[in-house]
Amino acid sequence: MELNSLYIDELKEIVKKYGEKEFRAKQLFNFFHAQKRLDIKNSNLPKKLIDNLLENEEIRKLSILKDYSSKIDETKKLLYQLDDGNIIEGSLIKYKFGYSLCISTQVGCRMSCVFCASTKEGRVRNLTASEMLSQIYSVENEYGINLSNVVLMGSGEPLDNYENLIRFLDLIHDENGRNFSYRNLTISTCGIVENIYKLADKKYPVTLALSLHASNNEDRKAIMPITNKYSIEEALKACKYYCDQTNTRLTIEYTLINCENDKDQNVKELKNLLNNLKVHINLIPLNNIKEYSGKRPDKRSVYAFKKKLESKGLNVTIRRELGADINASCGQLRRDYKGG
């Protein structure tokens, strides 16, 4: 079993199997998730138990392979290496209020959004709960910081890895472990409707961000194939249910693509779609990637689009461009590193 992805109750079964008392499970959990360590050899668990665990069970590791620091701001882009040799990407961003980390949930992705670099080779595999947690713990350990926010906006579709996502959410929040507040977590999704409903019923007050990127189904189908399965209206209905259940406010992510989705018609359609929802729109100027011909609009048209939305009474921010001197958009770093 992968020990650092287990709940305390599951660890209890494991330690009992090796003839140890139940309290050892809590000790082990504390070691992984409060002390954020994996080297159980150096823990004060009984030697016999350590030997048994090391011989028969798995502890999954993850290491920071490379970090690229921006000279303009304090953003770092990170590459992590997994135990099986796979590489995933993340970014650490410093805001006035503290540090925010963007983590990945899968190696690759199978959602096939046309503008996204992370999906170009499909989904390689899901990340386990410990691999999501270790991105957080390794950054906190390496840079001696405590993160204020974590966003699940790296590679992968979190709601396409539902079971591991729930385990991650339970473990990161556990009071015997990292005890991280749900309110400081954001899950970004292309809108896998059935799992939005499932997650809503858990009532975790985690912020949900819907990647909308288009203002009608026809346009969205052309850039986000998930729209063939769930319409925009179905996705928004699920998001409304989610926000009602969790008492949170929805974020709408809207990647601006020059002369594609930044027209007056789009403003009108967005207004109609979002009229009755309490939402916050985050505009993301497209990061150009070589596999997609769409282009990032210039600053002026981004601001103009924002103004038009605001004039309709919508709440809008523009995602700050961070680490602009690190020559990589989301997902591109890993591919460049691999020579992809």
Which residue in the list 20, 89, 157, 260 is annotated as catalytic? 89
Q: How far is the CB of 232 from ligand SAH (least distance, A)?
A: 14
185 in contact with ligand SAH (CB under 6 A) = no
The answer to whether the beta carbons of residues 223 and 214 sit under 8 Å apart is yes
In 3D space, the residue among 262, 265, 159, 164 whose CA is nearest the CA of residue 210 turns out to be 159
Identity of the residue, 115 or 180, whose beta carbon is nearer to ligand SAH in the bound complex: 115
- Tell whether residue 171 is a contact of ligand SAH (CB under 6 A): no
89 belongs to the binding site for ligand SAH (CB under 6 A): no
CA distance 13 to 331: 39
Q: Which residue is nearest to ligand SAH (CB)?
A: 211
The smaller minimum CB distance to ligand SAH, of residues 115 and 137, is found at: 115
Check residue 116 for interaction with ligand SAH (CB under 6 A). Answer: yes
Per the CB < 8 A criterion, the answer to whether 295 and 256 are in contact is no
Q: Does residue 287 touch ligand SAH according to CB under 6 A?
A: yes
Give first-to-last CA distance, the chain, whole Å.
33
Decide if residue 266 touches ligand SAH (CB under 6 A).
Answer: no
**Among residues 330, 333, 334, 335, which is the contact residue for ligand SAH, using CB under 6 A?**
330
Tell me the closest approach of the beta carbon of residue 170 to ligand SAH, in angstroms: 21
Q: Does 211 bind ligand SAH (CB under 6 A)?
A: yes
* Burial status of residue 162 (CB atoms within 10 A of its CB: 0-12, 13-18, 19 or more): middle
Closest among 185, 101, 195, 131 to 157, alpha carbons compared: 195
Q: Identify the burial level of 228 via C-beta atoms within 10 angstroms of its C-beta, where 0-12 means exposed, 13-18 middle and 19 or more buried.
A: exposed
261 and 215 Cβ atoms separated by less than 8 Å: yes
Q: Which stretch binds ligand SAH (CB under 6 A): 36-44, 139-147, 238-246, 285-293?
A: 285-293
Nearer to ligand SAH, 185 or 190 (CB): 190
Query: Which of left, alpha, beta for 57 (phi over 0: left; psi -120 to 50: alpha)?
Result: beta
Q: Is 184 exposed, middle or buried (0-12, 13-18, 19+ CB in 10 A)?
A: middle
Decide if residue 301 touches ligand SAH (CB under 6 A): no
Residue choice 157, 219, 260, 262 for contact with ligand SAH (CB under 6 A) = 157
113 lines the binding site for ligand SAH (CB under 6 A): yes
83 in Cβ contact with 223 (< 8 Å): no
Catalytic residue among 116, 190, 239, 330: 330
Which of 200, 239, 250, 286 binds ligand SAH (CB under 6 A)? It is 286
**130 vs 188 by CB, closer to ligand SAH:** 188
Active site residue 89: yes
Residues that bind ligand SAH (CB under 6 A): 111, 113, 115-116, 153, 157, 188-190, 211, 253, 255, 284, 286-287, 289, 329-330
- Report the catalytic residues: 89, 330
